[in-house]
A = this chain, B = another copy of it.
Amino acid sequence: MALSHTILTFLSECAHSGYDLGKRFEDAVSCFWKASHQQIYRELSKMEGIGWIEAEAIAQQGKPDKKLYRITETGRNELEHWFELPCIPTPTREDLLVKVLAGSYISRSVLIQQLTDRRSLHQAQLNCYREKENAFLEVENPEEHLIFRYLTLRRGIRYESEWIDWCDEVLTAIKTKPTTLIKPIHLS
């Protein structure tokens, strides 16, 4: 659903090839929208089919040819319509939470390993986002565009921080004797 609308949003700014879009997804929205290049190319074909975008073949020297996609009037209308539709929160599905739920059946050491591994993943991601944040904060009078992008980055930062805190909370809890740890948890 929204993959096409994310693409339309990028195309609103300027024309992109599928490859360009792939990179944009990587560096601009990876904190809240993952898309593989296969998915992007497939979606572009579909969108071209229904007239939301149009392609122009561009021959390049030293590089393979590419298809440059532009948003059409129809596409722009669709996007503007979509903006006003209510959006529902994406359901979460997290393996790690299933493992914590099943904590009684898992050896303590495995569970601790799972949580510390996960914690460091989120820490690494957070560091990466923090760097981007610092880069943004150094920009004087950023364009509105950049501000909105920054606001989405803030979501990424909060999200990763929240994960780290939760991992720490669980690690603290399971490293203590189970029946004595309840009070400290609920103080947090």
Q: Which of A80-118 contact B (CB under 8 A)?
A: 80, 83-84, 86-106, 110, 114, 117-118
Is the beta-carbon distance between B118 and A87 smaller than 8 angstroms? yes
Q: Which of A14-22, A49-57, A60-68, A147-155 contacts B (4 or more CB under 8 A)?
A: A147-155
Knowing A118-B89, A170-B151, the reply to whether A102 touches B12 (Cβ < 8 A) is yes
Given contacts A147-B173, A151-B100, contact A182 B83 (CB under 8 A): no
Q: How many copies does the complex hold?
A: 2
Known: A6-B98, A105-B80, A133-B186. A90 touches B93 (CB 8 A): yes
Instruction: Tell me the residues in window 4-30 of chain A with beta carbons closer than 8 Å to chain B beta carbons.
Output: 5-6, 9, 12, 28-29
Nearest CB on B from A130, distance (A): 11
Determine whether the beta carbon of B155 is less than 8 Å from that of A104.
no
Interface check A59, CB cutoff 8 A: no
Q: Inside 8 A of A122's CB, which chain B residues have their CB? A: 89
A58 at the B interface (CB under 8 A): no
Assess A9 versus B98: contact at CB under 8 Å? Given A154-B169, A178-B144.
Answer: yes
Given contacts A6-B101, A9-B98, 13 further A-B contacts (CB under 8 A): A12-B105, A28-B101, A32-B92, A34-B93, A83-B105, A87-B96, A92-B159, A100-B151, A144-B178, A147-B181, A151-B170, A154-B169, A154-B185
